[in-house]
Amino acid sequence: MGCSRKSFARAATALFTLGLPCLQGLSAGNPSGQEIARDVYKGNCLACHRIPGDPSAVSLADIGPPLIHIRERFPDRSALRSQLWDPMVRNPKTVMPPFGKHKILTEEEIDLIVDYLYQY
Amino acid sequence: MRQLSGLTGAFRLLLFIALWYSALVVASPEDDRSQLTEFFQARFPGVPLEDYVYGALIANPGGRQQYEQIMEFPPFLSDIEKGKRIWETAFHNGRGFADCFPGRGHGVVGNYPYFDEMLGRVVTFENAINACLRINGETEFAYGEREPMGVLTAYARTLSDGMRINVRVDSERAVAKYEAGKNLFFRRIGQLNAACAGCHLYNAGKIMRMEIISPALGQAAHWPIFRGGEELMTFQGRFKRCMEQMRAVPYGFDSDEWNNLEYFLSYLSNGLPLKSSVFRK
C-alpha cells in the first residue's frame, strides 16, 4: 500500500520522475497528498473515484468520475480546489462531501491533494 | 333554510377544491412507491421485483450464489435458537409471546410498522414485543441490544417469512409520519453531508470502493442481518451505523425519527416477501 522501500529505491534513482511523491510520503510527520487522499479517515477519495494513473490506487468505485485529465478538466487550480472545498456549489445534488466547508480536511491537506491530483 | 344549504354547498365546493389541490401538490405514498419501483426497474432491467429483497446482490450474480450456499447452513443458527427459546418461554402469568399476536405470531411482521391512531405514533414490531411484555407484567427488553431483543426478533420475524409487506398509511396523521420518514431519507446529515437518498436511490448499484450500494427498494424486507455471519444487525441498527459513517450523531433506537424512517422505507417495499435473519458479508 502506498510507497514501499522498493519503490523508494526506484524513485531515488530517478529523482525527477513521478517517483517524487514517494519521497514526500516517507517523511513521517508530513503525509503526502497521495497519503491524505488514500486515508479513509481523510480524503478517502478511492471510496468514490478511481485514479487510473496511480497504479497503487486500488478501487472499483464508479460513483464519481475517474480522476484523470485533471489539467484539462480543471485548467484553473482554484476551480479544482473549490470543488474539493464545497462540491455542492457546482452540483447541488452531489454526494461528494464538502472537505473544506465541513472541515473534514485542513486547508493545507486540500492543497496537498490538489497537487497530487494535478499529476493525473 | 335555503341560505343554510347554500353555505353548506359553498363549503363543500371549497373542501373539494382543497382536496383536489392537495392531491396535486403532495404525492401520495403510493405515488412514491410506484415511482421508486419504476426508477429501479429502469436501472436494473430484468431483475424480478421479488429479488430486491436480496439488496446489493441483485447486481452481483456471483455474490448471490455464495449467499444461497451460505443460507443452506447459516452460521448464525445458534442465535436463532436462542431467540426461539425466549419466544417459547412462558411469562410468570403462564401466557407467552404467541398469545399476543394473531396466528400465534405467524404471518404478522408484514403489517409492521403501523400507525396507531390512539397512541398517535408509529409502532414497530419491536414495540409490539415490548407491549406484549408490558401487558403481561414482564420487564421490557432494551431496544438495540443483541440479547434479548435482537435474537428474539431474529427468530420471531422468521415466523413471517414469505409474507408480503403490507404497511398501511391511511389517515392524515399517518401520512405525516410517513412524510417525516421520507424527509429524513432525503435530508443531508453529518459532517459528510450525505443523505440516504444520495447513495441508496441515486447511486444504487454503483460501487463504493469495492462494495455495491443497495437500492432502497427491498431494504425493509430482510432484517436482522448477520454481517460476516456473526454480527447481528437490525434495521435500526443499520440506521445507526450509517449515521455514524456519515459522521452524524445517531438519533437512537425507538426514536421518532427512526421509527418514521422505518415506516417510510417499509411502505416503499410493500408487496415484497419478507425473509428474516439473513447473511451479509
DSSP assignment of B144-208 equals T-IIIIIHHHHHHGGGGTTPBP-----SHHHHHHHHHHHHHHHS-BTTTTB-HHHHHTTTTTSEE
Quick check: is B196 catalytic?
Answer: no
Residue A3 above 50 pLDDT?
no
At B151 the pLDDT is: 98
Q: Is residue A89 part of a domain?
A: yes
Candidate CATH numbers 2.40.50.100, 3.10.20.520, 3.30.420.40, 1.10.760.10; the one for domain B28-281? 1.10.760.10
Chain B CB contacts of A93 below 8 Å:
202
Summarised one tens digit per residue, pLDDT across range A19-75 is: 444 444 445 678 999 999 999 999 999 999 999 999 999 899 999 999 999 999 999
Chain B CB contacts of A47 below 8 Å:
208-209
Give rounded-to-5 percent helix, strand, coil for chain A.
Answer: 40, 0, 60
Q: What domain count does chain A have? A: 1
Nearest to A39 by CA among A119, A105, A114, A115: A105
Average pLDDT over residues A9-13: 51
Q: To the nearest whole angstrom, how far is the Cα of A90 from the nearest Cα of chain B?
A: 15
Chain A CB contacts of B193 below 8 Å:
88, 97-98, 102
Measured distance CA(A95)–CA(A48) in Å, rounded = 9
Interchain contact A46–B (C-beta under 8 A)? yes
For chain A, positions 59-118, list CB contacts with chain B under 8 A: 59-63, 88, 93, 95, 97-98, 102-104
Q: Is residue A80 part of a domain?
A: yes
Interchain contact A1–B (C-beta under 8 A)? no
Smallest CA–CA distance from B193 into chain A, residue: A97
CB atoms B192 and A102 under 8 Å? yes
> What is the interface size between A and B, counted as CB pairs within 8 Å?
39
At A13 the pLDDT is: 52
Task: With H, G, I as helix, E, B as strand and everything else as coil, classify residue A32.
Answer: coil
Q: Looking at this predicted complex, what is its ipTM?
A: 0.84
Quick count: other Cβ atoms within 10 Å of Cβ A73?
A: 12
Q: Is residue A39 part of a domain?
A: yes
Q: Where do runs of H (alpha helix) occur along B2-59?
A: 2-25, 29-43
How far apart, in Å, do the first and last CA atoms of chain A sit? 19
CB atoms B203 and A63 under 8 Å? yes
Q: How far is residue A1 from each of residues A116, B144, B211, B213, measured CA to CA in Å?
A: 16, 37, 19, 25
Residue A92 above 50 pLDDT?
yes
Identify the segments of chain B with pLDDT beneath 50: none
Measured distance CA(B183)–CA(A115) in Å, rounded = 39
Of the two residues A26 and A88, the one the predictor is more confident about is A88
Q: Is residue A106 part of a domain?
A: yes
Give phi and psi for B208, each to the nearest 5.
Answer: -105, 110
Summarised one tens digit per residue, pLDDT across range B225-275 is: 999 999 999 999 999 999 999 999 999 999 999 999 999 999 999 999 999
Give phi and psi for B84, each to the nearest 5.
Answer: -65, -40
Summarised one tens digit per residue, pLDDT across range B171-181 is: 999 999 999 99
Q: To the nearest whole angstrom, how far is the Cα of A104 from the nearest Cα of chain B?
A: 7
Measured distance CA(A100)–CA(A86) in Å, rounded = 6
From A46, A93, A97, residue closest to B209, measured CB to CB: A46
* Selected residue of B208, B210, B214, B247 to mutate for chain A interface (largest A Cβ count, 10 A): B208
Measured distance CA(B56)–CA(B47) in Å, rounded = 12
CB atoms B210 and A62 under 8 Å? no
CB atoms A95 and B208 under 8 Å? no
For A104, the grid coordinates are: 473534514
Chain A CB contacts of B208 below 8 Å:
47-48, 61, 63
Residue A95 CB partners (closer than 8 Å, separation 6+): A48, A63, B194, B198, B199, B202, B203
The CATH number assigned to the domain holding A70 equals 1.10.760.10
CA atoms within 13 A on the CB side of B189: 22
Q: Is residue A81 part of a domain?
A: yes
Measured distance CA(A93)–CA(A87) in Å, rounded = 9
Give phi and psi for B112, each to the nearest 5.
Answer: -105, 150
Q: To the nearest whole angstrom, how far is the Cα of A64 from the nearest Cα of chain B?
A: 10
Evaluated on CA atoms B90, B94, B100, B105, the torsion sign reads positive
Q: Is residue A90 part of a domain?
A: yes
For B176, the grid coordinates are: 405525516
Q: Where do runs of H (alpha helix) occur along B187-281?
A: 196-200, 235-245, 256-268
Q: Is residue A8 part of a domain?
A: no
At A2 the pLDDT is: 43
Q: What does DSSP assign to residue B24?
A: H
CB atoms B194 and A59 under 8 Å? no
Nearest to A32 by CA among A20, A41, A44, A40: A20
Q: Is residue A16 part of a domain?
A: no
Q: To the nearest whole angstrom, how far is the Cα of B216 from the nearest Cα of chain A?
A: 16
Measured distance CA(B132)–CA(B118) in Å, rounded = 17
Q: Which domain holds residue A70?
A: 31-117
Q: By the 8 A CB rule, do B256 and B173 touch?
A: no
Helix (H) or strand (E) holding B278: strand B278-280
**pTM of the predicted model as reported, rounded to 2 decimal places:** 0.86
